[in-house]
Amino acid sequence: MKFKHIVLGAALLIASGCTALQPFPNVARSGDTVALAIGSPDDMSRANTTATFTSDVDGVPIDITSNIRSIFKLFADPASRIYNPNNITATLVESSKHTPWITIAVIDLPLGLQVGAGNIEFNTSAVYPDIGSHINDLQLPIEIIAGTGSSNSFDYELGKGASVSGSLTQLEPQARAVFGPTIPSAACPCPTYAAIEVKVAIPTLEGTIPAEVRVIPDDLTMLTQSSRNMLHGVSSDGQELTVSFLSPTGSLEYYEAQFSVVQKMTGTPTINSIKYFDLNGNEVTGPVSDYTVVLR
């Protein structure tokens, strides 16, 4: 994939997970707020990311890590062309092994920057898909113009006639456990299933899993024809969460059984069992040993 010099507002770029080689806006004053589309990495956050600004005038890097307001994911409308079969987005999903998203970093430029051309650079330990460059390898050009800007408060209406300032940190993912199998880098001749059932125990402060626990399936369906659905429920004693993936056509790929649980936890969840079923409801053999859970 060739990177192009296009801004954040280009929908195809955003939804296909590419890195925009310019911020939005790409011309700003010291003190202004800018946003950058920085690819589709796994587990990128303010905690594992740094940023610098370097002016072409003096070449001296300035640490602007503390000016990062938020790092969050942006998702396309599932009804958009981005989700069409065989779209370029499918290449991203196949490479990244996760739901298609573009990660956005919002930064308040510090005061006192040199007027003229410069670059913003990021450094992160987050893992990037292999279809494009890692953000650590890129310089994102921005032109600083004369004048003093101000941080955008992102005011919005909350009820008729009332306004509040927006907190972009509310868009950042909460602590969660991510469940799923190891996915091969290349397509494999893998068996398919009518259902996959995963049972897990989750340690919580309360000692039980709340009935309203948030379970989020990873959307890899643009790579498959499974017509996948997901159901989940908590046992009556609150000790076990069951997550079931179903395919009415029996074409559920094993790697579609990926999901996240957003819940305050006191430790790493335990996978109690993983079962695979055919269209007749019979339990069949499936990949179990490489199924893992990771806290993020």
Measured on CA atoms in the order 36, 40, 46, 49, is the torsion positive or negative? negative
Local confidence band at 5 (pLDDT 50, 70, 90 cut-offs): very low
Per-residue pLDDT of 34-78, as tens digits, reads: 999 999 999 999 999 999 999 999 999 999 999 999 999 998 888
Residues 6+ apart with CB under 8 A from 190: 253, 254, 255
Top pLDDT among 69 and 183 is at 69
Residue 23 and residue 138 share a domain: yes
Residue 17 and residue 144 share a domain: yes
Taking all residues of the chain, what is their mean pLDDT, rounded to a whole number?
88
Residue 145 and residue 106 share a domain: yes
Q: Are 9 and 26 in contact (CB under 8 A)?
A: no
Does residue 3 fall inside a structural domain?
Answer: no
Residue 127 and residue 190 share a domain: no
Nearest to 213 by CA among 223, 203, 224: 203
Residues 6+ apart with CB under 8 A from 50: 63, 65, 122, 123, 124
Q: Which helix (H) or strand (E) holds 199?
A: strand 195-201
Residue 152 and residue 178 share a domain: no
Residue 197 and residue 61 share a domain: no
Q: Does residue 119 have a pLDDT over 80?
A: yes
Does residue 182 fall inside a structural domain?
Answer: yes
Residue 183 and residue 237 share a domain: yes
Residue 107 and residue 201 share a domain: no
Residue 229 and residue 198 share a domain: yes
Does residue 2 fall inside a structural domain?
Answer: no
Domain of 24, CATH number, reads: 2.60.40
Q: How many domains does the chain have?
A: 2
Residue 291 and residue 194 share a domain: yes
Name the region of 39 (left: φ>0; alpha: ψ -120 to 50; beta: rest).
Answer: left
Cα separation of 81 and 88, whole Å? Answer: 10
With 0.85 as the threshold, say if the pTM is over it.
yes
Cα separation of 116 and 223, whole Å? Answer: 45
Does residue 1 fall inside a structural domain?
Answer: no
Residue 211 and residue 186 share a domain: yes
CB-neighbour burial class of residue 260 (10 A; exposed 0-12, middle 13-18, buried 19+): buried
Looking at 170, 200, 221, the residue that finishes a domain is 170
Does residue 4 fall inside a structural domain?
Answer: no
Domain assignment of residue 20, given as a range:
11-157+163-170
Distance of CA 142 to the CA centre of its chain: 25
Looking at 123, 147, 170, the residue that finishes a domain is 170
